[in-house]
């Protein structure tokens, strides 16, 4: 969760170097090379009483949702959508993996950035990578694009530890 501790909004960069974006139809998501678009910005919501999970909200004020509906009939992977519902399917558990993060759903599947020829190219699904070649497709880089504001100046404390040779202040 350390990637999100002070984050108000983030961009998710896939293994393929593309960003998770909310489509203009306000229902679907995909990958795009344009990370500067507001569609690539996801608001982080912390879940009260569960410090392990977060919710991600699109520019359309809809949650990133792990659907149980197959992406393609007879194929692996389920759809990832934007929905207004606020239930367990909009909760994601970020799991640190080296310098990146995997997002696990409540049913033990992962947010996956697909590659390959159409219809897989630029698609995003939730599933379990079964082949070695797709293991890294569930890894996401996190770009914090907006920090949480401090609620009170008293939350800032001096700490005697030093970071990179300078005095550090931890919030």
Q: What is the pLDDT of residue 1?
A: 65
C-alpha 24/C-alpha 40 separation (Å) is 11
Q: What is the CA radius of gyration of the chain?
A: 17
Tell me the pTM: 0.83
DSSP string, 85-149: --SGGG-BEEEEETTEEEEE-TTS-EEEE--SSTTTTT-EEEE---SGGGGGGG-EEEEEEEEPP
pLDDT tens by residue, the chain, 171 residues = 678 989 999 999 999 999 999 999 999 999 999 999 999 999 999 999 999 999 999 999 999 999 998 886 556 789 999 999 888 899 999 999 999 999 999 999 999 999 988 888 999 999 998 777 788 999 999 999 999 986 655 444 444 333 333 333 434
Beta-sheet pairing, 140-147 with 7-14? antiparallel
82, 78, 75: which is closest to 28 by C-alpha?
82
Give the architecture-level CATH label for domain 7-170: Trefoil (2.80)
Q: What is the pLDDT of residue 164?
A: 34
Spell out the domain ranges in the chain.
7-170
Q: What is the pLDDT of residue 160?
A: 36
């Amino acid at each position: 969760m350390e990637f999100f501790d002070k984050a108000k909004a983030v961009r998710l960069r896939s293994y393929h170097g593309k960003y998770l974006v909310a489509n203009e139809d306000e229902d679907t998501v995909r990958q795009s090379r344009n990370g500067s678009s507001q569609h690539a910005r996801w608001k982080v919501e912390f879940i009260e009483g569960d410090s392990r999970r977060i919710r991600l909200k699109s520019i359309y004020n809809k949650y990133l949702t792990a659907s149980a509906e197959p992406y393609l009939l007879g194929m692996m992977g389920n759809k990832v959508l934007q929905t207004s519902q606020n239930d367990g399917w909009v909760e994601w558990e970020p799991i640190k993996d080296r310098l990146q993060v995997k997002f696990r759903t409540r049913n033990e599947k992962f947010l996956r950035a697909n590659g390959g020829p159409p219809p897989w190219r630029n698609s995003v699904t939730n599933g379990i990578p079964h082949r070695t070649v797709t293991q890294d497709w569930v890894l996401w880089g996190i770009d914090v694009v907006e920090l949480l504001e401090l609620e009170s100046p008293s939350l800032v404390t001096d700490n005697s530890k030093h970071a990179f040779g300078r005095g550090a202040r931890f919030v």
